[in-house]
Structure 1
């Protein structure tokens, strides 16, 4: 498959991710507000980060020859840092106030569907990114995979709360978001530095 076809496939994967998350962020935040669920609120914010990351990747892929890789990776890294700060603050507030989340059937159903969809999209981005040798698409593919992992963790917390009344399982599930958020922020920022070194080396090579 030639580069043009791969770029189109990469863009299609990003548009599908955007569409799913735009719908999802509205549904999840409404469910989080109704159920007072930290895990759902965190996942809703993660969906906003995923939307932002997808927009960044579309911007980079549509100008793949304009040296946008470094800035794109840095923006994704900053988005993850923002996510971690919010989740930690919300987690501490919930544990200190002892807020007990209610069961959200709609939230459980959507998170379960999101888990499957994000796994499929992450696989497609990884394959396409490897074929394109595009680090931005590969990094955003990892964002999508993290989204799937988070959906699984949040789903577990919601089910434990719904079935056994373990209210603390809901906020603790958000710790998974914190872990992956820190890891992916470090990775994205590191890759942005590497991309910067590569672009700085270009003039010397040409000379």
Structure 2
């Protein structure tokens, strides 16, 4: 629901930041489905080699999708800045981002707690990705607030470019994990563990 509403309302309001947020949610949904499949493979008694192949395949899919999203965000943001296109207000999009900013940290903690309980590195990583989704929602809300309060047409494109940091980090870590790099954990889990 979050992904569909964010993309649709972002498209209608010409908000690149909201579309990018929704697209990241689509990728997170795909990652969640692949994670469920991977956990099913493991629970059904598959060999460690098969589980590892499933995890690496999922990481390739997510990593490449995220890096393609970065290209879309950068090209679209540069175009919007070049042509002086701003976003329009959209209350539904704001509500989706607000709810995500509140719910995702709660969901993140639950996933990490369950992942630690069952010993699933993949579920803990997915929990950290939920926290990144919250960061992205807060970035979108900051951009919307600046546009509404100050009328800055360029803030939507700049907010979208701010999302690039999170998306590149997620994408690069997924690709590194797919390549078999040790300790390549999604969504900055090493940063979270230090905190």
Considering the TM-score relative to the shorter chain, is it more than 0.5? yes
Q: Is the contact made by 1:36 and 1:100 (CA closer than 8 Å) also made in structure 2?
A: yes
Q: 1:182: how far off?
A: 1.1
- In the other structure, the counterpart of 1:122 is 108
How far, CA to CA, are the matches of 1:195 and 1:125 in structure 2? 23
Q: 1:195: how far off?
A: 7.3
- The one of 93, 96, 101 aligned to 1:107: 93
Q: 1:136: how far off?
A: 2.0
- In the other structure, the counterpart of 1:57 is 35
RMSD over equivalenced CA pairs, Å: 1.8
Unmatched 5+ stretches in structure 2:
183-195
SS in 1 for 2:133: helix
Greater Rg by CA: 1
Q: Is the contact made by 1:87 and 1:174 (CA closer than 8 Å) also made in structure 2?
A: yes
- In the other structure, the counterpart of 1:141 is 127
- In the other structure, the counterpart of 2:192 is none
User: How many residue pairs were aligned?
Assistant: 174
How far, CA to CA, are the matches of 2:172 and 2:33 in structure 1? 20
How far, CA to CA, are the matches of 1:146 and 1:93 in structure 2? 26
The answer to whether 1:168 aligns with 2:146 is no
Q: 1:155: how far off?
A: 0.6
How far, CA to CA, are the matches of 2:80 and 2:180 in structure 1? 39
Change (3 A) 1:187 1:80: same
- The one of 169, 172, 184 aligned to 2:170: 184
How far, CA to CA, are the matches of 1:177 and 1:127 in structure 2? 26
- The one of 36, 42, 48 aligned to 2:20: 42
Q: Is the contact made by 1:139 and 1:188 (CA closer than 8 Å) also made in structure 2?
A: no
How far, CA to CA, are the matches of 1:124 and 1:103 in structure 2? 33
TM-score of the two chains, using structure 2 as the length reference? 0.82
How far, CA to CA, are the matches of 1:136 and 1:76 in structure 2? 13
TM-score of the two chains, using structure 1 as the length reference? 0.77
The answer to whether 1:151 aligns with 2:157 is no
Change (3 A) 1:138 1:188: farther
Change (3 A) 1:141 1:107: same
